[in-house]
Amino acid sequence: MLASLVGFLGDFDKAEDAAQEAFAIAAERWPASGLPPNPGAWLVTTARNRAIDRIRRERTLAGKIHLLPAPEAVMDEFDDSAIDDSAIKDERLELIFTCCHPALPLDGQVALTLRALGGLETAEIARAFLVSEETMKRRLTRAKTKIKATGIPFAVPGAHLLPDRVDAVLAVIYLIYNEGYSGRGDLGAEAIRLGRVLVALMPDEPEAHGLVALMMIHHARRRARFSGEDLVLLDDQDRSLWDMPQIAAGRAVLDRAIALGGRGAYVIQAAIASVQTAEPIDWPQVAELYRRLADLTGSAVVELNRAAALAQAGDPAAALRTVDRLDLDGYLYFHSTRGELLRRLGRDAEARAAYGRALELATTTPERRFLTRRLDQL
């Protein structure tokens, strides 16, 4: 609803006001008159008409009434027969691209996407990102002001800009998902919902399918990932806590991404997640997928994951050689992975040193507890 209003009015604040007004009218009228045949369309039409009334009032004051369309052009909101869904354009895709415009600060893109597309209240978003409602309100206002002042278009970008801009949208959705990954589950579900909206609007975009598949498969394992506050590694997770139907649904989305020719970073990550939910896990394949991902991203952290997969595939010595080539000294998981590999190779003293270094870098209590446990086991 908001998407169609922003598209129509070209202004976030006016659209939000109009939507609120329409809901208020509905709350007053519907209990007495019953639901209109198409409540959604009724709300949009009512909100549009109210907004036009308001703009017209404002412009009348400014003596510029002639600039507006004649009143006859506007549908009568109470003539239900005149309202049908097909008359209301779905402009959610335009809204997504506006909210995720790279000219906006990233935190503003995230907040605006959740507010405008997720329909979350400002207070809810503030809670999810652990900031005050005041701060979140300012963040949203700043983003909306920049959209207006700089003329960020309410449009799907042209073909030459589209690939970069789709990447930007996917990055925002994945960021929202990752905020939820650390335990705030409602953001994870919200990110998946947003991803599915994007997939429905861009059905031929393989990376969008890939991202949705990745998030669904990860999300399906959320209940097994923690034991109390402690992080549980994949190997030790209680598989009966996995949401198997959601994993199957995620795999189906992944198949679609691959069928569309998807070979991008999200598709590969989804494929890794998918292989890791099989029993037994095909570790050589996981290592191979990480190799492709490393080729694509050039990321040392991905190489570290590849090494861990090599070790799981039964070659800890090759894994250690890979790890020792990486320049990740400030990274906790570099040292904990090295520690684990050295332990498997029976080099306990070196393993202890590596785990000790990881412990120095740990910032959360669960991380510290996990590493201390590992050290004690040596």
Partner 1 sequence: MQYALMIYAEPGYAETLPQAEREAVLAEFAELLNDPRCVASAQLQPAETATCVRVAGGRTLMTDGPFADTKEVLGGLFLLEAANLDEVLEVAARVPATRFGGVVEVRPVVAR
Chain contacts with partner 1 (rule: CB under 8 A): 101, 103, 149-153, 155, 157-158, 160-161
Give SS3 for 231: strand
Task: Considering only the C-alpha atoms of the chain, give the largest distance between any 2 of them, rounded to a whole number of Å.
Answer: 86
Instruction: Considering the complex, state which of residue 103 and residue 123 has its C-beta at the smaller distance from partner 1.
Output: 103
With beta carbons less than 8 A apart as the criterion, state whether 24 and 17 touch: no
Instruction: Considering the complex, state which of residue 147 and residue 216 has its C-beta at the smaller distance from partner 1.
Output: 147
Instruction: Considering the complex, state which of residue 123 and residue 161 has its C-beta at the smaller distance from partner 1.
Output: 161
CB of 99 to partner 1, least distance (A): 14
CB of 275 to partner 1, least distance (A): 39
CB of 45 to partner 1, least distance (A): 27
Instruction: Considering the complex, state which of residue 148 and residue 325 has its C-beta at the smaller distance from partner 1.
Output: 148
Instruction: Considering the complex, state which of residue 27 and residue 67 has its C-beta at the smaller distance from partner 1.
Output: 67
CB of 235 to partner 1, least distance (A): 47
Structure tokens at 319: 């894994």
Instruction: Considering the complex, state which of residue 75 and residue 161 has its C-beta at the smaller distance from partner 1.
Output: 161
CB of 151 to partner 1, least distance (A): 5
- Which pairs count as long-range contacts for 240-245, CB under 8 Å and 24+ apart, including other chains? 242/277, 243/219, 244/220
What is the CB-side half-sphere exposure of residue 360 using CA atoms within 13 A?
A: 11
For residue 190, with 0-12 CB atoms within 10 Å meaning exposed, 13-18 middle and 19 or more buried, which class applies?
A: buried
CB of 171 to partner 1, least distance (A): 18
Backbone angles phi, psi at 226, to 5 degrees: -120, 145
CB of 135 to partner 1, least distance (A): 26
CA 297/CA 280 separation, integer angstroms: 28
137: left (phi over 0), alpha (psi -120 to 50) or beta: alpha
Instruction: Considering the complex, state which of residue 82 and residue 161 has its C-beta at the smaller distance from partner 1.
Output: 161
- End-to-end CA separation in angstroms for the chain: 59
The residue to which tokens 């052009």 are assigned: 73
